[in-house]
Amino acid sequence: MSFYFTDQIQQSFNKIFHQCNKDIAWEGKAELDALVKLDEEGQKIPGIGDVYAILARVYSGPQFTWIEAGFPEDDTKAYSYLHTAIRKGSAIAILQAMRTSGALTPTIEKELPMTKDQAFQRVYEGAQKGCSYCAYAIANVFQWGDYHILPSAQKVANEGEPSTFVRFLKGLFAQADQRRFANKITAIAQQWLRKSAEAGLVIAYRNLRITYVEQNNSNMEEQVIFEGAAAGLPLMMYLAGDICKSRGEHERALEYFERGAAMNNGMCLREAAEYYAKPCESNKRIPQNIQKALRYYERAAISPDYLDFNDHAYATMQAIILRTLNVDGQSQDWSRIAHLLQQPAIYTLDAIWPYLAYVFTFKKGNTPAIRTAIECVNQASKCFDRYGSYDYADHLWQLAAGYCYEIGAITKEPDLDQAVTFYEHARESINRLNTRNDNWLGTGEPLAIPDEASERLEAFELVDGHYQYKEGITQSSTTCNPMPPAWPQNSVDVLEIFEDSTTGWRTNKYDWPFIEREWDTQKYLSFIIYDNRQSIENVIYDVYSIVMFHNEDKNTCNIYLYGYSEDPAECDETLEPTIYEIRDFKEMSISEGLRLIKEFYDHATLPVIDESWEKQYKNTTPPREYVLTCDNDIFYLNQYELSNQMIKDALEGVANGTYDIIAVRPSNLDDPGISYFIERGKGKNLHIRLYITTEDDIGDEIVYGFERDSSNLTSINYWIQESITSNKLPDLSDWEEVKKKD
């Protein structure tokens, strides 16, 4: 039953917002997209403005839906749809725009089909009838203070308030009265959020909890958390599990974390992994399960990083440590460890140096790179001196250092004395770990790290105070930490967009028939290459990913190769070339695409790149970002389709007194570029100040300023457009120079 939307729109809305099943949510979005397509084709769709409003919220980002739905964030589309919704008469879109920074542009303000107060009245009526989204929108009006500018909302807020004279008397005790009124406003917001949640809008629990947090009402906050978890909101599942964990109810906590992990919530994934990896987390009530822990840590490492979870570095490092220590005897995978070490989340951590030193020195999951290995050994040594110990990784960099001295990579000639010294340090580190009962897993038992150092030391003997190889030995060796077989098992992850089919990672456990089945269900394959990266000379280097994407509208596919290339415009052989990320891509039939992928999977063979392939460089000449400011409001122009019209309307707003001052300038005031500041002048004129920011030969900033008056809005708009699109100045012969700094 619908109380505000049409029945058709309400059903689609419910699929997106009244539950937290990703497939169902995407089905609801697809239904609304189909209505938009019909509208674009000229068909009359009842309530189409509300369709655009709902989709605008979907495209606005995870804070406006629920993170695990995985909807794409597209600011340009969000603003465009919201503006279309308003133009098509959606009252709820107007209230959305009041809550969306930069949505009520000067152009939209002029085109509002109704006043903001009229929009509030319509939505308020829908909320009273039982519409979950209307109730949510009304709650926002009070929760975030928009009621101040809406007469009808003020009337609701003032119901039951004393007369003007009594308020005057109470004003003598203003602070207490203001606090009482603020509590009343919060209670109104809570009332509507409660009605919204009870009517099915699961994200209402998120805002309702915030109101109780702000009131320091922990009892009501906890009640809302458990209600939200029961309704299926992953964030609330994490919070409910955290409450249970703090009470020592570990089995119940794990149930909540497992439910959230199944929906790919990063915090739940991390907490479930902690329980399975570290028995101490549950006082040993939850049995250790290293394989589950790894699966959850690695999924947490690549889970969405919006709002709720930013612990990717920790999750990544835990997975690296578990795989390195090989606690259960079946987790060690140096190719996977090498791949995890390339995750951006851990680039700044000193903890990665021992692992990097080891994988580059011993070619564990990486192509040979001894120069890189030496750098990593040096960094690890510095950090060891600074911190005293890496705890579970000392032996890794010490083994790497020993081997680098053994082969002469550091000293140009082999230095076996230094090599033995580092191998002995590594043996001491391994023995220390293997005799400790207080390991970080909390098992109460020693670890069993393979003693690679002792095996390597077997190659040496002391003669006349110096070490040399024993007879018949030319280099130390070990049976520890073996690499798996060659291509492709140790080199490629097969990843797909959706998590639901199995897990987020694909490794050597899956054969080609499995990959074909994945293609049939997901229509997307992504091979992430972390070893044996291939190159095509003079075309693309170090190809790190191959993607096959299904073009459903044409029943073809696109193949994308991602790698690196030198700037084709640079021809000076005396200079180091600039390296850019690049992708080559081509549309082809499904069968051709699968054959190409199969050839790559079987033989690590890249396709022939000819003129039929297109090429795109990434961020070779990033466009300068400009903003429009109207008094205190700021609008990033690259996010709007009709930025030219926005500037024109803003100029009219200054001319008619709607705005005191507007500006069009680079988003960063220190960036080189041309800036305009415009305010009312004398009579009908506008006063224009123009600033040019540039740099001199030694890189110091220089600012030139000019000013003039003009009443010709068309000319002013033309000057601005030329400046922001072509970096051109107007004719300054009749401008007065007002500022020069050098």
Collect all residues with Cβ–Cβ distance below 8 Å to 212 and sequence separation of at least 6. 190, 218, 220, 221, 224
Following DSSP, what letter does each residue of 86-122 receive, concatenated? HHTT-HHHHHHHHTSTT-S-HHHHHH-SS-HHHHHHH
Within 10 angstroms of residue 67's Cβ, the number of other Cβ atoms is: 23
pLDDT the model gives residue 501: 32
Helices (H), 64-198: 75-87, 91-98, 106-111, 116-129, 132-143, 151-158, 164-170, 174-198
Confidence at 87, pLDDT banded by 50, 70, 90: very high
Query: At residue 563, what is the residue type?
Result: G
* Chain segment 52-70, per-residue pLDDT in tens: 999 999 998 888 898 888 8
The Cα 738–Cα 318 span in angstroms is: 60
Residue tagged 């520890």 (tokens): 480
pLDDT the model gives residue 120: 96
The Cα 491–Cα 366 span in angstroms is: 9
Contact 725/709 with Cβ under 8 angstroms?
no
Instruction: Look at residue 522 and tell me whether its pLDDT is greater than 80.
Output: no
pLDDT the model gives residue 505: 35
* Chain segment 582-609, per-residue pLDDT in tens: 788 889 998 898 888 888 877 777 888 8
What backbone phi and psi angles, to 5 degrees, belong to 301?
-65, -25
More confident residue, 526 or 308: 526
Instruction: Look at residue 169 and tell me whether its pLDDT is greater than 50.
Output: no
> Among 462-471, 612-621, 696-705, whose mean pLDDT is lowest?
612-621
Going by C-alpha positions, the residue among 634, 648, 724 that lies closest to residue 686 is 648
More confident residue, 535 or 374: 374
- Could you tell me what percent of the chain has a pLDDT over 70? 85
Q: How far is CA 582 from CA 339, 604, 720, in A?
A: 21, 20, 33
Collect all residues with Cβ–Cβ distance below 8 Å to 323 and sequence separation of at least 6. 294, 331, 332, 333, 336, 337, 340
Contact 159/187 with Cβ under 8 angstroms?
no
The token pair at 435 is 């005799």
The Cα 46–Cα 109 span in angstroms is: 24
More confident residue, 189 or 171: 189
Q: Provide the mean pLDDT of the chain.
A: 84
Contact 82/100 with Cβ under 8 angstroms?
yes
Helices (H), 302-393: 312-325, 334-340, 353-361, 370-387
Q: Per-domain residue ranges for the chain?
A: 1-113, 120-227, 273-469, 492-617, 626-741
The residue length of the chain stands at: 742
Omega before 488 cis (within 30°)? yes
Confidence at 504, pLDDT banded by 50, 70, 90: very low
pLDDT the model gives residue 388: 80
* Chain segment 232-252, per-residue pLDDT in tens: 999 999 999 999 999 999 999
Instruction: Look at residue 497 and tell me whether its pLDDT is greater than 60.
Output: no
Enclosing H/E stretch for 715: helix 713-726
For the domain made up of 273-469, give the CATH fold. Answer: 1.25.40
What backbone phi and psi angles, to 5 degrees, belong to 525?
-130, 135
Q: If you average pLDDT over residues 491-515, what whole number do you get?
A: 45
Query: At residue 258, what is the residue type?
Result: E
Confidence at 484, pLDDT banded by 50, 70, 90: low
The token pair at 122 is 């319509």
Angle formed at CA 624 by CA 621 and CA 627, multiple of 5 degrees: 160
* Chain segment 418-454, per-residue pLDDT in tens: 999 999 999 999 999 898 887 778 877 888 889 999 9
Confidence at 576, pLDDT banded by 50, 70, 90: very low
The Cα 565–Cα 559 span in angstroms is: 18
Instruction: Look at residue 470 and tell me whether its pLDDT is greater than 90.
Output: yes
The token pair at 168 is 């005057």
pLDDT the model gives residue 455: 96
Going by C-alpha positions, the residue among 146, 83, 88 that lies closest to residue 120 is 146
Going by C-alpha positions, the residue among 726, 672, 727 that lies closest to residue 696 is 672
The Cα 327–Cα 433 span in angstroms is: 12
Q: How far is CA 655 from CA 642, 650, 688, in A?
A: 20, 9, 12
Instruction: Classify residue 197 as left (phi > 0), alpha (psi -120 to 50) or beta.
Output: alpha
Instruction: Report DSSP state, residue 671.
Output: S
The token pair at 452 is 């690679």
